[in-house]
Amino acid sequence: MLDPFGDFETRGYLQNVEGLKNLDEVKVLEHTFFEANLEDAFHFLREIKGALTYKHFLKVHYILFNDFYPWAGQDRLQLGVGSLVEKGNFQFEESSMAQRAVEWGLEMGNNPAVLTKKPGVVMGQFAWGHPFLDGNGRTMLLVHTELCARANFSIDWTNSKKADYLQALTNELRTPDKGLLDAYFQPLIQKLPERKVWIEHIKTLSGLDGANTEDDNMSYTADDALARQRYEEANKLRKRSLQGHPNPASEITSRDV
């Protein structure tokens, strides 16, 4: 069981406000709050006039999940837990670099020409950063949707199959910017629908409710040697994939958020 705070027995799964321990119950209530706050999150993004930033990324997570998780809107580094994240034997970015990873995705995503060409690379960067203890997928889905809207297109998620998407995303995570997730998105790119239909579309997406969760395979480790080794191997593979590619993240310094 995922327990980065070490207080599962006293405060439940990830310190949720109800102190729930049963993961099925947690996911039902978590998704209830997500749906209830979805419109507010999109409204927040719509009101931002300039480029989306990491601060906005954190705020979306806060809006979606603050009613259920008291730490919502804070990343792993701010919380001081989950230095290394592993799910399904894949290591994500370490907490000290998560902000840079997401900011690279935002830098690309805020450029409509780049996003139109590489929507999968942008999504992959958000996923690689994995800044939150929970709710990463739903947060980056909303931010990515807003960025696509600003570039005057959308991803037809209703015709996306969860298993196929997750496999394409995993491939993108392992070897980024090789066109793997971009190719998956390509036939799903469509004209921008009216904003009022976004919420209903997202509510109907399969898998967002946490059903058949794989969280039992998720672990957060601070100083486990084996986890560190797997992280270094994943990072090395990613760097080799990106060799020769411009990487704005290398030029971004950590900012106060």
1 domain-assigned: no
What the block records as the tokens of 214 is 């794989």
Q: Using CA atoms, how far apart are residues 190 and 139, in angstroms rounded to an integer?
A: 21
117 domain-assigned: yes
3 domain-assigned: no
Average pLDDT of span 143-155: 96
Does residue 242 or residue 96 have the better pLDDT? Answer: 96
For residue range 193-209, list pLDDT tens digits in order: 887 777 787 887 766 64
Question: Confidence class of residue 250 from pLDDT cuts 50, 70 and 90?
Answer: very low
What the block records as the tokens of 34 is 């997500």
Largest Cα span, the chain? 49
* H or E segment to which residue 85 belongs: strand 84-87
253 domain-assigned: no
Q: To which residue do tokens 């450029």 refer? A: 111
Does residue 41 or residue 252 have the better pLDDT? Answer: 41
Share of the chain above pLDDT 90, in %: 68
* H or E segment to which residue 34 belongs: helix 23-46
Q: How many domains does the chain have?
A: 1
For residue range 3-50, list pLDDT tens digits in order: 899 999 999 999 999 999 999 999 999 999 999 999 999 999 999 999
- Write the DSSP assignment of 38-82 as a string of letters: HHHHHHHHHT--S---HHHHHHHHHHHHTTT-TTTT--HHHHT--
What the block records as the tokens of 9 is 């027995």
Alpha helices per DSSP H over 76-224: 76-79, 95-109, 112-117, 119-129, 136-150, 162-174, 180-185, 198-203
List residues bridging with 9 in a β-sheet. none
Domain, as residue range, for 71: 8-243
Residue 207 DSSP symbol: T
For residue range 164-182, list pLDDT tens digits in order: 999 999 999 999 999 999 9
Average pLDDT of span 127-137: 95
* Confidence at residue 202, expressed as pLDDT on a 0 to 100 scale: 84
248 domain-assigned: no
Q: Using CA atoms, how far apart are residues 113 and 153, in angstroms rounded to an integer?
A: 11
**Residue 217 confidence (pLDDT) above 70:** no
Strand order in the sheet with 84-87: 90-91, 84-87, 218-221
CA nearest to 86, candidates 250, 234, 241, 257: 234
Share of the chain above pLDDT 70, in %: 87
Q: Using CA atoms, how far apart are residues 72 and 65, in angstroms rounded to an integer?
A: 6
Q: To which residue do tokens 């947690």 refer? A: 26
Sign of the torsion angle spanned by Cα atoms 213, 217, 223, 229: negative
pTM of the model: 0.90
What the block records as the tokens of 104 is 């690279």
Q: Using CA atoms, how far apart are residues 105 and 103, in angstroms rounded to an integer?
A: 5
**Residue 87 confidence (pLDDT) above 50:** yes
**Residue 221 confidence (pLDDT) above 80:** no
CA angle at 58 for the pair 108 and 61, rounded to the nearest 5°: 110
209 domain-assigned: yes
Q: Using CA atoms, how far apart are residues 124 and 140, in angstroms rounded to an integer?
A: 10
For residue range 93-130, list pLDDT tens digits in order: 999 999 999 999 999 999 999 999 999 999 999 999 99
249 domain-assigned: no
CATH number at residue 165: 1.10.3290.10
Please name the amino acid found at residue 192: L
